[in-house]
Structure 1
C-alpha cells in the first residue's frame, strides 16, 4: 500500500535521510523504531509532502512526490503529528468534525470515536485547549480517523502519556487493524511496538539498519543494544 524507495530528505543543505526503503502492506501495522534524531519523524513528514526529497514514495501505486500535503491527505493518507495540532479554542466535537472529508461517506462516525474513547464523549462540548495531554492525543487520533484514511501514520502517540492511556492507544491501533486500516507507527516504546506490529524497522543515522518481525528483533540483542537502548 505504501512503498518508499531510495528516499533522501533534506532540510536546506542538511542531508537527513539516506536512501530509506520501507513498505507497509494493506491492513498491516508497521513500526519505525530508533532513538531521537535519527530521521523517523522526517520519514513520515516526507511522506506527507512536508520535506524536500528525492526518490520514490508510492501510495496505492501512485507517486506522491510533488503533491501538496492536502492532496496527499485526499488520496487517503492520514497523519497524526507528534505535536498533536488541535484547535484549542474549538470544542472536542468541533475538532472532530473538522477532520471530515466533505462528500465522502466515511467508515467512521462521531459515535465510533466516542465509543472508542468515552472520555471524549464526556468532554464533547469542552474547549480542546483545556484537555489533558492524554485527552488531546485521543482527540488528534480520532480527528484524523474522521477523514477516513486507508493508511494512517502516527508519530510518537504514547509520548508523555500515563500507562493507562498508553494501553488505550494500543487498543485503538488494534481496532484500526481490525477495520482493515494500515498503520505506520513511529514509536520509542519498544514494548508496545513489539506487541501490536506485524513488522518493524529500526532506523539509525537516517538509514534503515534492521527490518524484520517483532520476534526477530527480540532475538537480535546486538541491534537492540546498538540502535535502541539508551
Structure 2
C-alpha cells in the first residue's frame, strides 16, 4: 500500500529526516511512536507533500514523492493533521460535505454513517463547528477525511490534549476505521491507544526508524522504551 525508502526532509538548513524506511500493507494499522521533535509529524507531512521529500514514497505502486498534495489526496491518501483544522463558521454537516472528493461517485462513507457513529456530532450537525469541544473537533476532522473515501489515512496525534473518556472514544473510532479495511498510519504518543489497535509498531528517534515489530514483541523490549520513548 505504502512503501517509503531512504526518506529525507529539511526545514531550511535543518536536516530532520535521515533516511526513513517504512512499509504499510493493505488494511494494516501502523503506529509511529517516538518523543516530540524526532520527526514523526514531518514524516506525515513529507508523505502528503506538505514538506519537500527527498527519497522514494510509493503509494499503491505509484511514486508520489514530489507530487502536489491535492494530487496525492486524490490518489486515495487521507490526512488528519494534529492542528484539527475545521471551518468554524460552517456547520458540522457542511464541514463533512467538504470532505467529499467526487460528488458523482458514492464512497464507502456517508454523512449519516458519520453522525450515527458519533451522536455528539449528530446533535450538533446543524450548529457551527466552532462551538465544538476539542474532542468533537477531532472526531469531525477524522470524519471529514473519511468522506473523501481514502484507502490509507494518516492520523497525527489524535488524542493530544483530550480528556481520558474522549481519548477512549477516539481510539474506538480509529479501530472502527480499521475494521472497514482502511489502512492507517497513526502518529501517537499514548501507548495504550497505539498498542491496542496497531498491527505493527515503528519507533522513531533522531529522524530515523530505530525499531519495527509487532505490539507483542514491542511489549518485551524495555530497552527500546527506555532509550527512545520514556522521558
The bucket for the TM-score relative to the shorter chain is over 0.9
Consecutive unaligned residues of structure 2, counting only runs of 5 or more, are none
Q: Does 1:88 align with 2:88?
A: yes
What corresponds to 1:148 in structure 2?
149
Please name the residue that 2:72 is paired with: 72
Which residue of structure 1 aligns with residue 24 of structure 2? 24
Cα separation, 1, equivalents of 2:30 and 2:62 = 20
1:94-133 correspondence runs (5 A):
94-102=94-102, 103-133=104-134
> Residue deviations 1:184-221, cap 9 Å, x none?
00000011111110000000010101000011111000
* 3-state DSSP of counterpart to 2:20: strand
**Shift of residue 162 of structure 1?**
1.1
Structure 1: distance between partners of 2:133 and 2:11: 33
Q: Give the drift of 1:166.
A: 1.1
* Structure 2 match to 1:177: 178
**Is the Cα–Cα contact under 8 Å of residues 97 and 147 in structure 2 kept in the other structure?**
yes
The equivalent residue for 1:63 is 63
Which residue number in structure 1 is paired with residue 52 of structure 2?
A: 52
Classify the secondary structure of the residue corresponding to 1:229: coil
* Structure 1 counterpart SS, 2:127: coil
CA RMSD of aligned residues (A): 0.7
Q: Per-residue CA shift, 1:21-62, capped at 9, x if unaligned? A: 001110110000000000000000000001122110000000
State TM-score, norm by structure 1: 0.99
SS at structure 2 position matched to 1:101: coil
Is 1:206 the counterpart of 2:169? The answer is no
CA distance in 2, matches of 1:110, 1:77: 19
The residue matched to 1:78 in structure 2 has which SS?
Answer: strand
Q: CA deviation at 1:104?
A: 2.4
Q: How does 1:6-25 map to 2 (within 5 A)?
A: 6-25=6-25
3-state SS, counterpart of residue 188 of structure 1: coil
Question: 2: distance between equivalents of 1:51 and 1:99?
Answer: 22
